[in-house]
Amino acid sequence: MLIREDALAEIETGKIDTLFRRWKKPTVQTGGTLMTAIGVLAIEAVDTLEREQVSADDARRAGFGSVAAWQEWYERAGPGTLYRIRVRFEGLDPRQALRQDDDLSADDLENMDAVLDRFDGKTPWVDRVMELIAANPARAAQDLAEQAGFDKVQFKTRVRRLKGIGLTESLEVGYRLSPRGQVVLAHRRTLG
């Protein structure tokens, strides 16, 4: 679920706790979480509504100045069932702290090697992708994918796996190695 930056900022401060979407099928569920640019949002409720059921309080909680402003959004939102999503800022993305943790022991590095070896499977790619990102920070994913010999979707999937364990950071365009990723890559260079 995509959320505008200005809305995310207001969710973080608690000014907004409600979102509306028109979907064929909801992409979030009650009790779930959503990773966003500001961190983790808790999904507290996902309810279907009819247009007439949206109250002035609902509109205000979603950041609209009035029900009329909400109705303008509704008209532009396209087809689909109307969903009201209650959200709460839960905290920073835990991967952010992980990316900054570059104080890795020998055991940490050994464990990281085991994880990365599993990522590699039968076709090694981890070191090649990390080296490309290290040498080309902020370079478009398509360019890096071509250099790595992957299509763009395959490449981005692999980078997301590295990001999930704190080794890379997404930039407006492209990626860079995190401080943790730099330490891991330096270590892996000593192995081969």
Instruction: Tell me the CATH number for domain 95-191.
Output: 1.10.10.10
Residue 96 is predicted with a pLDDT of 81
What are the tens digits of pLDDT across the range 103-162? 999 999 999 999 999 999 998 999 999 999 999 999 999 999 999 999 999 999 999 999
For residue 183, is pLDDT > 90?
A: yes
**Whether CATH 3.40.50.150 fits 5-92:** no
Residue 95 has pLDDT above 90, yes or no: no
Closest CA to 38 of 1, 3, 86, 84: 3
Look at residue 149 and give its three-state secondary structure: coil
Closest CA to 10 of 53, 51, 60: 60
Q: Whole-angstrom Cα distance, residue 177 to residue 159?
A: 10
| Distance, CA of 155 to CA of 97 (rounded, Å) | 24
User: What's the pLDDT score for residue 37?
Assistant: 82
Backbone angles phi, psi at 84, to 5 degrees: -110, 125
Average pLDDT, the chain: 94
**How much is the average pLDDT of 21-41?**
93
Q: Which of 188, 177, 190 is nearest to 100 (CA)?
A: 177
Q: What per-residue confidence (pLDDT) applies to 68?
A: 95
Give the pLDDT score at 38: 86
Stated pTM of the model = 0.62
- pLDDT category at 15 given cuts 50, 70, 90 is very high
Cα 157 to chain centroid distance, Å, stands at 13
Q: What is the percent of the chain with per-residue pLDDT over 90, rounded to a whole number?
A: 86
For the chain, the domains span 5-92, 95-191
CB of 27 closer than 8 Å to CB of 7: no
